[in-house]
Structure formats: structure tokens, C-alpha cells
Chain A
Amino acid sequence: MSSSQSSQPAFGARPLHRSPTPGLFLGLIVTLAAVIVYSIYSTRQISGLRELQSNLVDRNRKDSLQLLRIQNDLNLLALAMRDMLDNDEPYPLTAWSAQFDRVRTDLDDALRREQTVAPVNRTPDQEQYLQNSVAQFWDAADRTFALARGPDQDEARTQIRISLRARQEALSTAVSRLLVQNNESEEQAAQRIAEIYNRVQRQVYLFFTATLIAILFTSLYLIRSNRRLFAQLETLSAQRSELAQKLISTQESTLRHISRELHDEFGQILTAVGAMLTRAGNQAPEGSPLRADLREVCEIAQTTLDKVRTLSQALHPVMLEETGLESTLDWYLPVVERQAGIDVFYVKSGHPFPVNGSAAIHVYRVVQEALNNLTRHSEANEAWVRLRFQPQALEVEVEDHGKGFDARATHQGIGLVAMRERADLLSGTLEFSHPSSNGSGTLVRLTIPREKLEA
């Protein structure tokens, strides 16, 4: 009584631990959070990369292309100036003006485009220097051609040699410097990109490790709590079985006691009462009403004695211990036929072997319960009972062709539970099936290993 009042469950079972759900939930949340955090991180890194790529590398390359174009134009100008100075053409220096104009058009366009894609690290001073150099070059070129239009070609050539060429070279050097600068910053960008890749790679490893650990812990936790759950279930099942078996044995011993009391005590008393009444009746005068009354009372006592005996048998067939299972069934089945009003076809087969009393009572009770169910629920008029003594086991079948029932139904009566427990007590099996394919009828088959019956 005290145990049922305590917070501990009955029968000394281990306490039920808290549900694993919060733990699993936590694991899931940790994993999801890691994924989200990593996604945000990668997105950031990628956008950083893109920015680096478009702002620095692409822009640099576009700018370098334009610078190369400018350099090419400057080279064309240098070649033209070389030809002008060579003085081996029959043409005045002004002949080159168309060539200069063509280059100028292209150079202007290249410079304009270059300005729009100039790298962000270009200083205003550099920009200014480039523009000034170009302006100075064309200024010098215009002056040279103006001079060349005059009579003094040599002076114009001198101008080309000392001024125009120098400016072209200065311009070319400035452009080269910008190209070098572009290359350098491109290299730096490449380095930074490589760093980002390395960092991302490291983070990927970290992320995967963290995720793996989270998954590992969650799995371990899941396995542990599962195992604990199953252990608890097993314990519960064992406790339940133990309880049922205790109940059954208590019931059996109680019934046996009552049955024996009825048989022995009340039987003795009623027999004695009967004997005394017979004697008293014999002493009463022949034909007297007393004699008749005594006989009648004697008959009542006899009937009561019979009833007590029958009840005693019904509660616990003493025959089981005395004559064994086989003959108890031989006696019991006609009783069922008589009481329930059905035909029982009883078949025995195999070589009978002795079944000890404590085991026999369980087999008997199973048959009794099966027949009880049959008469109560199956609406059948016939029943087949088969007792098979097999070399290694005893098999008992109770079959009817009634309306049948579903043994898998979740709600089972105490009778069915008891039947299973009894089978379990003997390490046997209890099967329910339908003898016919359309689902009608019931076949109950109890199989008990022989060693459990003979022990």
C-alpha cells in the first residue's frame, strides 16, 4: 500500500526518464542554426568575392585593355615620328597629319573609355598627369605641324626630335606605369581572392565538423534514450507478466482451497448429515410422515452434496492432481456439452505422457476459457477439441465455426489476457486463427513444450 502511494511506480521499476523530444529538438535546432549561420557566412563571402572581382579585377582588366590600346596608339605615333625624322619620303611632314589624326581619334576614344573604367585606386594626380601629358603632346604635335606647314621643315623636325618625341616617351612611360600598377593591384586582388577561398575552405571544414558533431551527439542521445525506453518497456512487460502470473497463481490457490474446503469439509458434513438422516429415517415408523420428511431432507442433503461436489470440481478439478489432465478433460467436456447445450467433438491423438498438476491446471483453464468464450460469443452449436500428444510438445485446439472474433483487437477481455499469461507461464504459445478462409469461426491453439509439462 505504501509503495502505491509513493511517487515511485509500483513493483520497484526504474523511474521513467524525461522524454527525449526536447533533446532531439535541441539537436535539430543546433544543426539548422549551423546551416543558417554558414549560409549567411558563405553568402557574405561570395558577395565580397564578387565585389572584389567586379570592382577590382574586371575593372582593372578593362582598364588595362584600354591602356594597351593607348600604348599601341603611342607606338604608332612613335613609328610615324621615326618615319618623319628619317626624311626619306618625298613628302612634306604635313603628309603625316592624316595618320596623326587617325591615331588621335582612336587615342581620344581610348582615353575616354579608360577614364570610365579607371581603377578605384587611381589617384586624381595620376589622372591629371595623364590628361595633361596627352594635352601637351597634342599641343606639341599641333605646333609641329603648324611649323611644318611653313617653309622650315628642319625646324619642325627638330621640334619632333626634342619635344614631340620626349612627350610621347613621357606619355608612354606614364601609361606603362599605370599598366604596372594595374598588374600589381590585380596581383593583390588575386591574393585576396585566394585568401577568401582559403578562409571559406577552412570554414567549410569547421562547419562540416560542427554539423557532424551535432548530428553525432543527437544520434548518440537518440540511441541512448531509445535503448532506455526499450529497457523500461521490457521491465514494464516483465512486471505486468509477473503481476498477472501472481494473480493467476493466487486465484488458483484460492480456488483450490475453496474447492478442497467445499469437497472435504462440506462434503464430509453433508455425507454425515445424509447418513444421520438415513439412520433417523430408518428409526421412524414405516409409512409415517416423519419418515417421509426425513427421506425428503436426506434427498435434499444428497442433492446439496452433489452440487457442492460439482462446484468444487468446477472451481478446481481435484481430478487434475489425482487422475491427470486427460481424464479431467474426459470428464469436463461432457459437462460442457450438457451445460451449454452444444456438441463437442473431442479427439485425442499421439502417445499420452503424464502432465503434472500445476501445469495441467493452466492447460485446463485455457480450454475452459476457450469453451466459455465459444459458448458465450460464437453462437456456434458445435465445437471441436483436439488433444495431441506430440513427441516434443502438447497441442490443444479448440475450434468452432461460429461468427469468430478478432484476437488482435486492442481491447481484450481479462479472459484472453489470462489465457496468454498462462501460455507464457509454461513457455508455450497461444495462437488464434480462423479455420475458414472467409474469416468466420475461431481456432485457438495452445502449444506447450513437453519438458514444461513433465517438470
Chain B
Amino acid sequence: MASSSAFPFGVFASPPPPRDPGFRLVDVTASSGIHFHHNNGAYGGKLLPETLGAGCAFLDYDRDGWQDILLVNGADWPGHKPEHKPGQPVEPSTLKLYRNNRNGTFSDVTRSAGLDLEMYGMGVAVGDYDNDGYPDILITCVGQNRLFKNTGKGTFIDVTKSSGLGGRQALSTSALWFDFDRDGLLDLFVCNYVKWSPEHDVFCSRDGKDKSYCTPEAYRGETCWLFHNRGNGTFEDVTATSGIFDSSSKSLGVAMLDYDHDAWPDLLVTNDTQPNKLYRNQRNGTFKDIAVDAGIAFSAEGRARAGMGVDVADFDNSGTPGVAITNFDNEMTGLYRLSPGGNYVDVAIQSGVGIPSKDKLGFGCVFLDADLDGSLDLAVVNGHIDDTVRNVSGVGYAQPPQLFLNSGHGTFVDVAADVGGGFSQPKVGRGLAYGDFDRDGDLDLLIATNHGPAYLYRNDQTAGNRSIRFRLVGTKSNRDAIGATVRIFHDGSTTPSQSRMVKSGSSYLSQSELPITFGLGKQDKIARLLIEWPNGRTEEYKNLAAGRCYDCVEGKGITALSGY
């Protein structure tokens, strides 16, 4: 940070010496057996959804304790399938499910899992909505969203219609599972972007002749949806009755948080060119948007930015939920801290995140402790929506992802170029998720790109930092324990040194793994662990050794695994 701020002009400054971030990222995409190419269906029609996809997820669909990977795919537009070349196998563009082989490699199990279905997919939300122990999958789509129920036998069945989610056409984006009424059943929140269909695509043009991708202003907004889980495998649309309904929203990202510390999950929705929404849970089945009062609806200049991805986490270890929101280029990523008065204050510039993100169009973003030093870092993937953008504004179409390392003192510095693995190579990044797929205690990164490959980066710690992981299982609460808050304390301290929430959603169209990871630096244990379960119950455990993962079952204690 010091070197970059002291020499703001690269021309005059000698290149900064490579930093040692304390870990390396290794591109293991090909070696691990992930061969995926996203298809956005672009044929020249410049249809709006082509620029948006797609998402990715870490999930343990077979419950073997090893994180599997799901990659969402788009599709060819009806009537615009590329001509089949004779002699080449027909490769339908479907989403892909990769099973973790527990040796650093993955197997494509899409077909055997019954997921080799063509749909114009956008995002993914993973949650065990029927509490059977096996994570189910919601794929948001252009058109009809799809809900896949995990049978527990390695296969999924499409329950869209029977669950009551059918019969809806929209351009859905991010989604998340959460238990807003704390009845122990995961409810579903789905973001919708704008009112769009191929038939009603608007002609936009930069040069007056050729069609180009429209900005969202060309389309009318669309409300997000909230579905209440009835507990019998069906969902009830409570969008209107819960106060979520807003026909002006153009939502792309959603994250859950406990804004007011009442143990009831609130929602933060990022809107493109519309004010962001902070839906405060009123504990009676309804929500109230307080984004304007909380200072997160607009930028500091009072403008509604092009909010894309979002993540919420206690990045300053204050015990309060901080927020990162990626925006359009020239708008900077917003990094918000919650003031004691309940106002979000954008600290992007002073923290060092603002300026480096100014020329980036950010999408997926996650808080993760990449170097396991005890402070949450921020990973952001970038990439423009317009492949001709370089001719217009000089910023790239493919843009380098960023990894802002948290100093622990309120400042961040981008170390993407120092972590190796080609991580900082420009990409048309969209989805981003983290998960410890190799169970070595640190967090690996999964990146989905638009009309390009997916990337899996393995995190290898080099500084010897340690971590402690927790896998929460709800019994009274929802089985995934989504909404549970975990706090750890070091010796003698009454204020938690770190806190995390088990959460679905966040980032952009993506979902990270559900287990919680705390970086501990060189510490070999934690003094105290406090779990606040989604239904309000708290549990406390003492003296837990670092370097392993713990299974925490609500009301039944914790079990240490031999490793992570």
C-alpha cells in the first residue's frame, strides 16, 4: 500500500517489489479435470442476457465431506444453434456438476446426476430446502428457473413444477436460500434483473447503425421474488405480502446479513442503476426497505450505481456486517463499514479498494481469509459486458481479477499479481466462489467467466498460517444452519476476535461452500467458540485446537475431525 500510494504515477515509480502474500494460487483447472466452457448463445443478436452469465458453486452434493463443483451454463438461443460439424460429437451446453474425487481431481457427473439439461442458466443457489441432509439446487434462468431436488443417491430431480415455482418467466439472476421466518425451513429469494424477453428486446446502438448491448435503463424493472417454504415440498409466493415487491428493482446480487443484530436475517439486494435495497426483517413475515436511511442505497455522491455482486462479512472484525458491492467501471467497488449509529459508510477509497477498482467492472466478490491471518480479504472478478468497450472507453473487455489483502488495520492492497497461477490474467469474470476442495484448511477459488472457461485456483499456504473450520448442521434450525453466526474468542477476551455467518447467496450468481473457515495466523487454538443458531439458540465450546475441522450439530455438541 505504502509503495503504491507514495508513487501514484507508474511512469515515475520503479515497479514495486513483488510482495509475499503468504500463499500461492495454483491454476489446477485442467489438471483437476474441469473442462468447461460457458456458452452465452451470442450469435450477433446482442441480446441482453448474453452479457450477464454465469455463476458457479461449491457444494457437497454427496455429503462425503468433500466440496464438489457446479458450473452454470447458458444456451444457444432458439433458432440460433450453430451448425453441427460432421464428425464432431454434439456437445450440448448444459450446466456441469463435478464430483470431488478426494485426490485433487474431479469427475464430470452431470449426466449421471441427471443435470445434463439445456437451459439458459444464470445463477445458482444451494440449500437443503427439505432438510433431508442433501443439498438441493436452484438454477436461475432466462425464462423459467429450475429447482433440482437431491435424491441423496447421487441424482437430482427437477421439482420446479411440483414445488410451485413453475409458470414464471423472468430474467432471474442471483438467488439465495435463507430462513426468514425462522421456522427451520429454508425459504428462497430470487433476484430478477429487468423485464426482458427475446421478443421484447430493445434495439440499442452506440454508433447508430450496429446493434449493441443495452444498458438496463432501456428496460423496465422487475420485482425480486420471495418464496416461503411450506415444509411440504412446495413454496408459496410471498413477494407481495412480505413487502419485498418492488417493480422498479433491477437486481443482480443478493446477500443475507443481520444488519440490526436481532438474529433475524435481513437482505441486501444490489440493483443496476437503481438504488440498492436493504430489506430489514420485521420478524413478522414482512420486510421494510431501509437502504436509504442506512446509507447504502446510493453512492456517496447520491447516485444509484450499477450494483452487481455483493458480499457481507465482518471484514474489520468489529462484529458487525461490512459490505462489498461491485459496480460498473468508473464507479469503484463500494466497501462499507457499519457505523455504531447503523449507517453504512463507504470506506472504499481510504481502505485502498476504491482507486484500484475504478477502471474495473466488477461482478463476483467474496470476503475470504485467503492468507489465514485472521482478517477477511476481498476477492473480486472483473470483466466488461461490452466486447467493443476498448474502442469506446479504453478499459478492457477481459479484466484482471483482484485479490485485496486485508492488512488488519483498515487498509487493503491488491496482491493478485503476486499470488501466481495466472490469477491476474485478464478474464471476463462473472461468478466467483470459494471452498476448501482439497481439505487443506485454506480456501480455494472458483471463477466463472462469460462465454469462456471456468477456473479453479488451489490455495497453497506458504507462510505456515493455520485455520480452524466448522461444519454446522441444524436440527431445530434449518439443516444447513444457514443464518447461523459463529464467533471465536481468543484467551481472556470478551469481544469476539472474528465472526462469520453461514450463508447462501452473496457474490454474483454464485454460492460458496457452507462450512466456516477462520484464519488463525500462527495460533494453535481458540479459547472459545460461540454459535448462534438460526432459531436463536446459542452454544459455546472452549479450547478448540486449530488445524482441523469440527462438525457442529445443533444441540448435540461438536466432533473434531482428524484433519480438515
Contact = CB atoms under 8 A, between A and B. Distances in A.
Chain A contact surface mostly: helix
Given A83-B220, A102-B289, A106-B292, A90 B237 contact: yes
B237 A89 contact: no
B157 interface: no
Nearest to B249: A99
B248 A80 contact: yes
A166 interface: no
A398 B178 CA distance: 126
Interface string A47-91: 000000000000000000000000000001001100100000111
A83 B168 CA distance: 17
A91 B240 contact: yes
B247 interface: yes
A89 B247 CA distance: 9
Nearest to B246: A99
Contact of B240 (A80, A94, A102, A106): A94
Given A80-B247, A95-B240, A99-B246, A89 B223 contact: yes
B239 interface: yes
Contact of A99 (B220, B237, B241, B247): B247
B288 to A, nearest CB: 8
B239 to A, nearest CB: 6
A383 B288 CA distance: 122
B243 interface: yes
B220 A96 contact: no
B270 to A, nearest CB: 17
Contact of A83 (B243, B247, B288): B247
Interface in A234-293: none
A206 to B, nearest CB: 47
Given A91-B239, A91-B240, A102-B289, A96 B245 contact: yes
Contacts of B223: 89, 91, 95
Contacts of B243: 98
A76 B221 CA distance: 12
A439 interface: no
Contact of B245 (A79, A91, A106): A91
Contacts of A90: 168, 237
B168 A99 contact: no
A79 B168 contact: no
Contacts of B247: 79-80, 83, 89, 96, 99
Contacts of A94: 240
A95 B245 contact: yes
A91 B237 CA distance: 9
A96 B292 CA distance: 19
Contacts of B241: 95
A99 B292 contact: no
Nearest to B237: A90
Contacts of A96: 245, 247
A16 to B, nearest CB: 79
A95 B247 CA distance: 9
A99 B248 contact: yes
Interface string B291-304: 01000000000000
A92 B244 CA distance: 13
A96 B240 CA distance: 7
A94 B240 CA distance: 7
A91 B223 CA distance: 11
B15 to A, nearest CB: 47
Contacts of A83: 220, 247
Interface in B428-443: none
Interface in B217-246: 220, 223, 237, 239-241, 243-246
A284 to B, nearest CB: 136
A391 B243 CA distance: 125
A89 B240 CA distance: 10
A102 B244 CA distance: 12
A223 B223 CA distance: 90
A89 B245 CA distance: 11
A76 B239 contact: no
Contacts of B245: 91, 95-96, 98-99
Nearest to B240: A95
Nearest to B247: A83
B349 to A, nearest CB: 26
B248 A76 contact: yes
A79 B240 contact: no
A26 B240 CA distance: 88
Interface string A96-128: 101100100010000000000000000000000
Nearest to A93: B240
A76 B243 CA distance: 17
A131 B88 CA distance: 72
Nearest to A103: B248
B248 A79 contact: yes
Nearest to A102: B289
A169 B215 CA distance: 28
B237, B244, B246, most chain A CB atoms within 10 A:
B246
Interface string B149-160: 000000000000
B248 A98 contact: no
A76 B237 CA distance: 24
Contacts of B248: 76, 79-80, 99
Nearest to B289: A102
B520 to A, nearest CB: 44
A168 to B, nearest CB: 15
Contacts of A89: 223, 247
Contacts of B244: 98
A397 B220 CA distance: 118
A90 B241 CA distance: 13
Chain B CB within 10 A, most for which of A90, A94, A102:
A102
Interface in B13-29: none
Nearest to A80: B247
Contacts of A99: 245-248
17 contacts: A79-B247, A83-B220, A90-B168, A90-B237, A91-B237, A91-B245, A92-B240, A95-B223, A95-B240, A95-B241, A95-B245, A96-B245, A98-B243, A98-B245, A98-B288, A98-B289, A102-B246
Given A95-B239, A96-B247, 14 more contacts: A79-B220, A79-B247, A79-B248, A80-B248, A91-B237, A91-B240, A94-B240, A95-B240, A95-B241, A98-B244, A99-B245, A99-B246, A99-B247, A102-B289
